[in-house]
Amino acid sequence: MLMEKNKMDIFINGKEIKVSEDETILSAARREKIHIPTLCYMEKLLPIGSCRLCVVEVEGCEKPVAACKTPVVPEMKVSTDTQRLRDMRREILSFILMTHPLECDQCELKGVCTLELLAKEYGVEAPASGVTSPRPRTAEFSTPAIIYKPYRCIACGRCVSACQEVVGRAVLALKGEGIGAAMEVVNADKCISCGECLSVCPVAALADAGMNELDHSDKGKRPKKTQTVCTYCGVGCTFDLNVVDGKAVGVTTNHNIGTNKGSLCVKGRFGYRFVNSPDRLTTPLIRKNGKLVEATWDEALDLVAKKLTSIKKDSGPDSITGLTSAKCTNEDNYVFQKFMRAVIGTNNVDHCARL
């Protein structure tokens, strides 16, 4: 029998809230829809506490504390939006923008970037002197599927934590201190090109290399996102296919939905380009006089039925085997094995998932 967690009362901005003993100030506030800004925090990762934007004031504490890492205690009184906190957050954002250029018009996250939105919320602009970071515009990454733009990196640590905690690869690490801190690849040979690091980056310092292959006229367009299920295996991972003018241009994920909670393998994250391939078959092909020619579905299916009937008659049903696919639904695979057993009369059915 599961033990019920102990409950307690705390106060956030004067509002009494009942919380569990294992909660943090941030998790309690988010549950009550009380806004506390964050850049490095993600629910799927252990609290990082590097950005310090989530600082709040707690009665009895001399200095503000990080809401993401501070556990609740009974009768705690928290303030999330005092003038002191707003001034601190402006300073933090100004420091970040010393090395992160506000090139929002050229960024894939224009309009939805958390840093961009926070800068507007707190009225912070880039320093007049411009970017002071000596970082290069691009740098070699651990996989050619991802482009690394160090000049955008804000050293939040999300990519490092995600690679370590979610994927268990430890490919990345934060190097340097202060204004010079940035992410670096330290174990490139361990990378499996899953793109977990890319999916958690809040400022597009890591980007899908496929986006660079877009026509220049398409790069500034906001893609239409359609939620779908990955076709590569039977796990059923959920993602959003990004489409511009009928062309698949990328994959993004939601960390709160699906069996995968935003995580994907290399095929799910980057294997979308076949959708646009000019070599994709759009009509059935049948062989006539030694050459493959286009046919209607009725022609193709009639030919398959005729061939299967002939083989079964001449060589028996066990001379035929069927291969199903993890790309199909459970229902499709069930019907197929039923067809093989009940219609063809053989148990020779196999499936690609055994690989």
Q: How high is the mean pLDDT of the chain?
A: 90
Contact 1, 39 (CB under 8 A): no
Look up the CATH number of domain 13-81. Answer: 3.10.20.740
What tens digit of pLDDT does each residue of 15-42 get?
Answer: 999 999 999 999 999 999 999 999 999 9
Contact 221, 247 (CB under 8 A): no
Task: Could you please state the CATH topology (level 3) that the domain comprising 218-280 is classified under.
Answer: N-terminal domain of TfIIb (2.20.25)
Q: How far is 169 from 189, CA to CA, in rounded Å?
A: 10
Q: How far is 344 from 243, CA to CA, in rounded Å?
A: 42
What tens digit of pLDDT does each residue of 200-246 get?
Answer: 999 999 999 987 555 545 555 788 999 999 988 878 899 999 999 88
What tens digit of pLDDT does each residue of 120-166 get?
Answer: 999 998 776 655 566 888 899 999 999 999 999 999 999 999 999 99
The backbone region for 67, taken as left when phi is positive above 0, alpha when psi lies in -120 to 50, beta otherwise, is: alpha
Q: Please state the domain extents for the chain.
A: 13-81, 104-110+123-213, 218-280, 316-354
As to burial, measured by CB atoms within 10 angstroms (0-12 exposed, 13-18 middle, 19+ buried), residue 33 is: exposed
Distances (CA, A) of 98 to 93, 203, 242: 9, 14, 31
DSSP-assigned beta bridge partners for residue 102: none
Confidence of residue 287 (pLDDT cuts 50, 70, 90): very high
Secondary structure (DSSP) of 140-195? --SSTTEEE-GGG-----HHHHHIIIII----EEEES-GGG-EEEES-GGG-----
What tens digit of pLDDT does each residue of 81-91 get?
Answer: 999 999 999 99
Look up the CATH number of domain 104-110+123-213. Answer: 3.30.70.20
